[in-house]
């Protein structure tokens, strides 16, 4: 991507090295498990993330966080530049939606992005690095441990700056869904039809992929994309499909995010079209994988 370092976004909350409030060790779960816990928490109103906190239960306590990483925090080599890159992508994606979302009848309200290390707290419960990046609609914040990008490269084989940008754009896509009221309608439908909860979750995730692609379309028009960038994002989308993550005995009815082929297809649709109306996964035929 063509970008220049320009400081840290005012929409960044930097909690690196600050911990999660000293509530003890946590159970580590994978990306798919985290998605299931988040859906269950939002459907029922119960904090299923409490199991990650030693089973303490109850509400999420207010933990004071200072502005900036802990004094003792030592960033990894190249991490400070990565923070500036994340800031660039966050601001560009949000600026894009701020310009375009009013056409859908909604004003865009900017989300915050929380940088954390290992674990932190959100209004949706206890967040941990092993869960991967996630969006919490209850506080309208995206959460990410930058170590996820190392995992994206090492574990999933998806390096490159546009692959990293795709991850942020996908989570901002969830924020757009929240602002449009789509997430709430899906949660209501899931509570009414528990047998369709996973299938509805897949369509919500694929729509966020398409919205990430729509932002990518905007960057291409503004000559921010470089040759090979789109392939990086497509590789990232394919790498974190449910069929890739849930290896061995995985079946489509257990998926919550969609297959690699589905994720790539919907990201490409948004990338080629750039139109919000072309990202309606809820009316589209969903091919079998």
Q: Which two tokens stand for residue 63?
A: 């933990």
Average pLDDT over residues 155-160: 61
* Domain assignment of residue 120, given as a range: 12-279
pLDDT in tens, 264-287: 889 889 999 999 999 999 887 665
Q: Which of 241, 242, 283 is nearest to 264 (CA)?
A: 241
What pLDDT score does 130 carry?
78
- Give the count of domains, the chain: 1
Q: How far is CA 6 from CA 83, 86, 214, in A?
A: 10, 11, 24
Is 252 contained in some domain? yes
Is 288 contained in some domain? no
Is 59 contained in some domain? yes
Is 3 contained in some domain? no
Q: How confident is the model at residue 21 (pLDDT cuts 50, 70, 90)?
A: low
Q: Check pLDDT > 80 for residue 51.
A: no
Q: What percent of the chain has pLDDT over 70?
A: 70
Contact at 8 Å (CB) between 139 and 122? yes
Q: Check pLDDT > 50 for residue 145.
A: yes
Is 284 contained in some domain? no
What pLDDT score does 148 carry?
83
Is 221 contained in some domain? yes
Q: How far is CA 47 from CA 28, 39, 102, 123, 223, in A?
A: 16, 10, 33, 10, 44
What pLDDT score does 253 carry?
46
What pLDDT score does 246 carry?
40
Contacts of 195 (CB under 8 A, 6+ apart): none
Cα(228)–Cα(216) distance, integer angstroms: 13
Q: What percent of the chain has pLDDT over 90?
A: 38
């Amino acid at each position: 991507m063509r970008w220049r370092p320009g400081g840290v976004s005012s929409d960044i909350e930097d909690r690196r090295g600050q911990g999660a409030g000293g509530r003890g060790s946590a159970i580590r779960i994978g990306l798919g498990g985290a998605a299931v816990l988040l859906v269950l928490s939002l459907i029922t109103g119960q904090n299923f993330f409490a199991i990650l906190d030693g089973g303490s239960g109850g509400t999420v306590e207010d933990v004071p966080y200072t502005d900036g990483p802990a004094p003792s925090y030592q960033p990894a080599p190249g991490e400070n530049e990565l923070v500036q890159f994340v800031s660039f992508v966050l601001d560009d994606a949000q600026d894009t939606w701020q310009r375009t979302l009013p056409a859908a009848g909604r004003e865009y309200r900017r989300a915050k992005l929380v940088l954390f290390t290992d674990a932190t707290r959100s209004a949706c419960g206890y967040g941990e690095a092993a869960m991967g990046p996630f969006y919490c609609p209850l506080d309208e914040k995206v959460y990410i441990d930058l170590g996820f990008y190392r995992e994206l490269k090492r574990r999933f084989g998806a390096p490159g700056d546009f692959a990293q940008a795709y991850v942020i754009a996908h989570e901002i896509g969830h924020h757009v869904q929240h602002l449009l009221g789509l997430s709430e309608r899906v949660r209501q439908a899931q509570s009414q039809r528990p047998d369709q909860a996973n299938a509805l979750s897949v369509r919500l995730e694929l729509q966020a992929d398409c919205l990430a692609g729509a932002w990518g379309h905007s960057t291409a028009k503004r000559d921010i994309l470089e040759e090979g960038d789109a392939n990086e994002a497509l590789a990232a989308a394919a790498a974190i499909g449910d069929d890739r993550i849930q290896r061995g005995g995985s079946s489509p009815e257990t998926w919550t995010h969609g297959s690699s082929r589905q994720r790539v297809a919907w990201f490409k649709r948004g990338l080629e079209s750039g139109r919000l109306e072309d990202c309606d996964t809820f009316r589209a035929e969903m091919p079998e994988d």
